Amino acid sequence: MSEKKSKFHCPVEATLSQIGGKYKMIILCHLIHDGTLRYNEIQKHIPQATAKMLVQQLKELESDGLINRKVYPVVPPKTEYSITERGKSLTEVIDSIRDWGRNYMSGTFE
Amino acid sequence: MSEKKSKFHCPVEATLSQIGGKYKMIILCHLIHDGTLRYNEIQKHIPQATAKMLVQQLKELESDGLINRKVYPVVPPKTEYSITERGKSLTEVIDSIRDWGRNYMSGTFE
DNA sequence: CGGGATCCAAAACGATACTG
DNA sequence: CAGTATCGTTTTGGATCCCG
């Protein structure tokens, strides 16, 4: 087989297909640097995201193997999210984006 | 004044506000590594983008100071795009994204 | 050749209400 | 607490035709 002619014209597209979602890089950034977080902790970090969006993005990240989701069978519910090894491989990407953003926000480029 | 309470909750968002558009990172990648390109050369590099989308993204990149647009007053028209110094500051970001994508495409993570 | 203008479809996103 | 379901809006993207 292997007639799969590669879905992507450019490697950049391949990366974006995994982390191009609106909140995905932000989620990864927090999970990489803060470690394991509960659902509502993530929500506090990203207050502009609605629950629907957050859950959706978390699910996609999980099914792409970038984050882990662990549900504790207790009441009230408790769910923890953490970065996977595969997710950690994005550390350089996320950090460079974060660093550029810091410079941008501090006015270095304006 | 300075009552601008910072539009971004996270530096990652700041970066995405500049290069988060669908084709922006791909455009920047080509302009960074290939140098100056004519409009139709960019289009050949990104065949899945329609003219409308491409022009839109190029305009936004230009008004954000990340790329230059030079129009030659000749017939037929000729327009060249190139990276600005500010745009070059994104080289690390773009390269890390491209590098991760290369690994992803070559199956390292699958 | 390098667009602009218009119209339209689809996807992304958000507000609200509800649930185990 | 950690979601799900539904609906409506907004944004994104594309097809087509037009222009200097």
CA angle B39, A109, B33 (to 5 degrees): 35
- Options 1.10.10.10, 3.30.1360.200, 2.70.70.10, 3.50.30.10; CATH for A11-106 is 1.10.10.10
Domain ranges of chain A: 11-106
Query: Residues of A74-95 as b/e, b for ≥16 C-beta within 10 angstroms?
Result: eeeeeebbebeebbebbbbbbb
Residue in the structure block whose two tokens are 């859950």? A55
Whether A105 has its CB under 8 Å from any CB of chain B: the answer is yes
What's CA B107's distance to the chain center, in Å?
Answer: 26
| Chain B residues inside the 8 Å CB shell of A86 | 109
pLDDT at A4: 43
Please count the other Cβ atoms lying within 10 Å of the Cβ belonging to residue B13: 23
Helices (H), ranges, chain A: 11-19, 24-34, 39-45, 51-63, 85-88, 91-105
pLDDT at B108: 61
pLDDT at A108: 62
- Largest Cα separation within chain B, whole Å, is 52
Beta bridge partners of A37: A81
**Cα B3 from Cα A109, distance rounded (Å):** 20
Assess whether pLDDT exceeds 80 at residue B69.
yes
* Distance from CA(B78) to C1'(D20), angstroms, rounded: 13
Name the band, by pLDDT with cuts 50, 70 and 90, for residue B110: low
Assess whether pLDDT exceeds 80 at residue A24.
yes
Convert the pLDDT of each residue in A47-87 to its tens digit.
Answer: 999 999 999 999 999 999 999 999 999 999 999 999 999 99
**Cα A49 from Cα B10, distance rounded (Å):** 13
Whether B97 has its CB under 8 Å from any CB of chain A: the answer is yes
CB contact under 8 A, B14 and A101: yes
CB contact under 8 A, A9 and B46: yes
pTM, rounded to two decimals: 0.92
- Give the rounded percent of residues in chain A with a pLDDT score beyond 70: 92
Mean model confidence pLDDT for chain B: 91
Which residue of chain A is at minimal alpha-carbon distance from B49?
A9
Residue in the structure block whose two tokens are 């129009």? B71
CB contact under 8 A, B15 and A48: no
Convert the pLDDT of each residue in A91-110 to its tens digit.
Answer: 999 999 999 999 999 986 65
Rg of chain B over CA atoms, in angstroms? 16
Assess whether pLDDT exceeds 60 at residue A88.
yes
CB contact under 8 A, B109 and A96: no
Whether B26 has its CB under 8 Å from any CB of chain A: the answer is yes
Q: Which of B10, B64, B99 has the highest number of chain A CBs within 10 A, making it the mutation to test binding with A?
A: B10
Instruction: Read off φ and ψ for residue A80, nearest 5 degrees.
Output: -115, 140
Convert the pLDDT of each residue in B14-38 to its tens digit.
Answer: 999 999 998 999 999 999 999 999 9
